[in-house]
Structure 1
């Protein structure tokens, strides 16, 4: 139950209290004020309503609740661990790189034991005594740094008063389950926890991975399953086996109980129409393995389910829509391909660019697209709208990002589309999207929210503090920018390296700060740590006013050891401070963003910092991973790939809140309700206001 409470606090910034009993006057108020003071030390505070409600609780209850709330927000901001730094005075007194290495080598040669480990032909830094491991305690670090000077610009995140835990959990459950955007892996885990806790179920679950998680609970309860394709059944079987419902990684299926086998085969039999069998070859091997566990031959009454496994084994042909469309396009029969695709509106719109480039009759293709737009999902419409608004200007390259955040680029060799063709397609999409949007009533939009990208997919985004979708832009305040990484290895020595790649306005003239170059005129590195048995933290300071490069790209490289999702813990974030503020290397109230690192790549590119023509700095959210090498990744080796990937993201015109806000204003009426869109909900909104923040922005994506 405590985990669920922490989940609600972290995801909703609401403290679930509900109708808890009140206590004696005074004692609860004192405990509430003490809690608020403790929260301020990590950059949080209680709203007036929360503080008032806490003051009416028994004092002991406030103390117990406060301990849980404080633990939840400290973990959210990354203050649940001790962030030591290799150089105790960082950012002061960091030595020159070569001077530091030479000093370590000199000490090693003067020590007979250490000298025996130094090979004459090569210099291994890891063999030098003192390299890569803390030489002082955390208490020593605290003693070496003055207290942080609090300033008005420090982050203060407001915690709101929540309803009962049951009500708050249900609201979060329905929000995640009803999202039109594919969820992150963390969201699927949260959804599984909430589905086991909440008695009610949402009426509509549009994303199939989310549906698979809910089906796990329905299967366990013996209830009818929510399936309409054969792949839905495969996802469910993977989920109940503890595998991957996204079907990205193979699953080792467990043995199913007879009632489970019957339920799965019955659901499969209901949806295994001939047209649906074409989905089977896409996951042929997993179907074969599942057939070995379900024993379909024992259930002759489910004959259509048996056909699924016949297709998987190659005993039955099931030509799919894609193969027939490709055959038509290869033969130059674009009209036939369009006619086939009209049976699958979403597929037609996803192929629209290709159809317009290959067909001789763009008018006919656009007519079909207009018909398809009426029934395709809202997310497909928005994705196509973003795609089309980038087709008239030449792009530095085409960027592709898979569901695990791994990105790559290729040259853009596509023929250009005519402006009038793009204009007509955009007008069709705008009209259909507007039709589906709700009436906002009186619309209020926080200007800082306008450049937040619409969350068309949540898969690459690990939840955390201050997180925004890929392509979002947000302002960077403060004179000092400090980003950090913390990791703790699970089983073997693990060495992560924090680095910064700095580029000019044309994405060239590269400069870097890393373990091979501790600093320059405006940036400094905290020192290289090569072992994280008890956790390790690295930092890079950027003095923004002195920066001679307008593009700064933080990177985390796996030099050796465990991948991001194998480590016991791994997270990245950044802080901003003013020049007069002192403090420890890590100060929670100055943290603006923090989230876990994960993904299949060996190089992480969470975001990029950009200086505009007005001199102001902004952060562009990337959420990218590079494949990298199995070991020894460093910033010098990924410079070209990183530069091209970041440029492709930065120069892309992402679909942002600004676009939806314009359509909503066009649709707004004189009705008596209010819609607010902002980074956070301010006090004093009218009762009944519909509020959209980054945590709930996915709810604004039309169905």
Structure 2
């Protein structure tokens, strides 16, 4: 499992060098086989593998192939409704397509077509390199995830939990401090779950009442971001004493912390029974009494809101200087209601060094683009479901001098902070990193072949045809059968102004004008089912198209989290009628769909700029009637506009600051000691490294 985690996260393997000489034919055969899956070995990995015995190599190879197939979706059988897709769909008559669809809807049977021989794949595919790793790098990878200064993905949580469960000694993995409170609750919860929690360690991690609430939430398998309510389980007496003991020693702001989540604390108190321990934990008993009986208590938040209500900017600033992060988040509001905005910037400057790096980067980016007239402002609410909220941009214009002063304050604070980190030497920063967003929040990121941040733009590989695919299965989940599951794959085309021009779905299997085709609507998946969509890029551009939005709709209305398996992805094909319909080596991305939603938008394609906009979003609102692409046009268009006009801090901005503070920039990548680029050095896919070493 260690190498499974390492492979998925960093495309590396740990291989203990042996004293054997592996016959060349074994290595050559293995590498030829994994080329079919789109991967190859680095020279360092080949050298290490050559020292293994045949038995050791066979075990390594068998596990590697199993893992690679699962990563790209090549571990299942793809049987589309029309096995000779796409040509078969494009050449069939309307009557033939209609009759087969009706028969399938009535009987669930697929048409009886023979799969014809296809010409072998001619596409030249760039291979992903699997490198040789080390125990030290693996440990640092896990440690970096734990001490990330931002929320981590579900995949990262599962990896960390496996490490906690399966390593006797955790000293090397656990840092002295965990900066993000969400991660505190999750990690301490896992330590307690597997009986590996030391009192000293827990005490150093859990410091506030909200930390205790997150821990109770983690122990109840809830959402540690606290964005959603949790049904707390019954705790054992020892667990109750632990939670109350940690709460008793929380900071001086215990009452205010607990009032933020008043109703949850009242429910938790009904399980913890603090009155039973009133002599041992008198402070806890007193605070729960305030919450249960609604005793008056003026909070910091109430004072700030009252000052803002009366537009007393300086009273609010005086309060907020004791909570610098909140000051930063409310700075735009303060600047809008004060008559002396530059003085307000100077007040913020006094506390800027107390603001976290993620918040400073976001404030800097916000004020850099503050007066640009974007149609929408887009936010990603906290929680485990990947939602986006887009609202009209009605912010009034601010004095450019004021905006520039805020930007300089943030920039200078970050430069000062980064300058205290180890030097980087000569640094190369790839301009292509302007297309990649800094990974501030990954809690709702889906498991994927390549995990990057929403709004980031990937370069589209060479090829003429985009092939979207999905695979899903119905069956037993947590002791209950899903019933029939019908997942619909759709693609909608828009022009540069987001005006609808065409869609491909089960309601419209093909478009001659845009050279697009759907492989056929399958409505049940007892053994798994698949759907494909092909879209010719040149024809879309020729007739004024620019954006293609891929979407997945649960027609039978099961949330994706209640399915045994469901994923989507896309390939780039040069000759769509050649090679198999599903060619593993042509898979560019695969994303597991497991959110508590019925509508998912994995990617948006900008076919004019040939970029892929990573969205990984859920639409939570119910459509007008059926859950299909036609019923979600408004939501699709809004999300498309929001994601293509997103203004967020980029990796280029972040790494340029590090280069200025810690090294000397060079224009030649080959001259650099530290490289930040899309393919070499620190890349956008090294999320753990970025969060733990550069967003600090």
Give TM-score scaled by structure 2 length.
0.89
What CA distance in whole angstroms lies between the structure 1 residues aligned with 2:565 and 2:28? 33
Instruction: Describe the SS at the equivalent of 1:442.
Output: strand
The aligned counterpart of 2:11 is 13
The aligned counterpart of 1:640 is 634
The aligned counterpart of 1:279 is 257
* 1:517 matched to 2:508: yes
Instruction: Describe the SS at the equivalent of 2:199.
Output: coil
Note closer, same or farther for the CA distance 1:379–1:301 as it changes in structure 2 (3 Å cut).
same
Please give the per-residue CA displacement for 1:308-366, whole angstroms capped at 9, x wherever unaligned: 42243134334322211111111221111111111111111111111111222212321
- Superposed displacement of residue 670, structure 1: 5.9
The answer as to whether partners of 2:122 and 2:575 remain within 8 angstroms in 1 is no
Alignment match of 1:603 (pick from 588, 599, 615): 599
Please give the per-residue CA displacement for 1:526-562, whole angstroms capped at 9, x wherever unaligned: 1111112211111111111111311111111111142
Instruction: Describe the SS at the equivalent of 1:497.
Output: strand
Instruction: Describe the SS at the equivalent of 1:458.
Output: coil
Note closer, same or farther for the CA distance 1:691–1:440 as it changes in structure 2 (3 Å cut).
farther
Instruction: Describe the SS at the equivalent of 1:242.
Output: coil
What CA distance in whole angstroms lies between the structure 2 residues aligned with 1:544 and 1:659? 32
- Superposed displacement of residue 624, structure 1: 1.7
Alignment match of 2:208 (pick from 229, 243, 250): 229
What CA distance in whole angstroms lies between the structure 1 residues aligned with 2:503 and 2:286? 58
* 1:505 matched to 2:496: yes
The aligned counterpart of 1:248 is 227
Please give the per-residue CA displacement for 1:373-422, whole angstroms capped at 9, x wherever unaligned: 21111011112222223321112122232232122322222222221111
What CA distance in whole angstroms lies between the structure 2 residues aligned with 1:136 and 1:64? 40
The aligned counterpart of 1:180 is 149
The answer as to whether partners of 2:181 and 2:211 remain within 8 angstroms in 1 is yes
The aligned counterpart of 2:442 is 458
Instruction: Describe the SS at the equivalent of 1:373.
Output: helix
- Superposed displacement of residue 668, structure 1: 4.5
Note closer, same or farther for the CA distance 1:256–1:601 as it changes in structure 2 (3 Å cut).
closer
Alignment match of 2:119 (pick from 134, 146, 157): 146
Note closer, same or farther for the CA distance 1:101–1:539 as it changes in structure 2 (3 Å cut).
closer
The aligned counterpart of 2:478 is none
Alignment match of 1:37 (pick from 32, 35, 54): 32
Alignment match of 1:332 (pick from 311, 314, 320): 311
What CA distance in whole angstroms lies between the structure 1 residues aligned with 2:298 and 2:528? 53
Note closer, same or farther for the CA distance 1:448–1:367 as it changes in structure 2 (3 Å cut).
closer
What CA distance in whole angstroms lies between the structure 2 residues aligned with 1:604 and 1:398? 21
Cα RMSD (Å)? 2.5
The aligned counterpart of 2:132 is 161
What CA distance in whole angstroms lies between the structure 1 residues aligned with 2:633 and 2:315? 45
Note closer, same or farther for the CA distance 1:8–1:269 as it changes in structure 2 (3 Å cut).
same
- Superposed displacement of residue 494, structure 1: 1.2
- Superposed displacement of residue 68, structure 1: 0.7
Note closer, same or farther for the CA distance 1:315–1:99 as it changes in structure 2 (3 Å cut).
same
Note closer, same or farther for the CA distance 1:332–1:447 as it changes in structure 2 (3 Å cut).
closer
- Superposed displacement of residue 288, structure 1: 2.1
Instruction: Describe the SS at the equivalent of 2:176.
Output: coil
Alignment match of 1:467 (pick from 451, 454, 478): 451
What CA distance in whole angstroms lies between the structure 2 residues aligned with 1:189 and 1:589? 27
* 1:58 matched to 2:30: no
Note closer, same or farther for the CA distance 1:389–1:57 as it changes in structure 2 (3 Å cut).
same
The aligned counterpart of 1:426 is 407
Instruction: Describe the SS at the equivalent of 1:264.
Output: helix
The answer as to whether partners of 1:15 and 1:159 remain within 8 angstroms in 2 is yes
Alignment match of 1:80 (pick from 50, 75, 78): 75
- Superposed displacement of residue 283, structure 1: 2.3
Q: Which runs of 5+ in 2 are unaligned?
A: 476-481, 666-670
The aligned counterpart of 1:196 is 165
The aligned counterpart of 1:116 is none
Give TM-score scaled by structure 1 length.
0.88
Alignment match of 1:92 (pick from 87, 92, 98): 87
What CA distance in whole angstroms lies between the structure 2 residues aligned with 1:77 and 1:104? 30
What CA distance in whole angstroms lies between the structure 2 residues aligned with 1:289 and 1:14? 46
Q: Structure 1 residues 474-483 or 666-675, which shifts more?
A: 666-675
The aligned counterpart of 2:622 is 629
Alignment match of 1:291 (pick from 269, 278, 298): 269
Aligned residues: 660
Note closer, same or farther for the CA distance 1:460–1:526 as it changes in structure 2 (3 Å cut).
same
The answer as to whether partners of 2:72 and 2:590 remain within 8 angstroms in 1 is yes
- Superposed displacement of residue 471, structure 1: 1.6
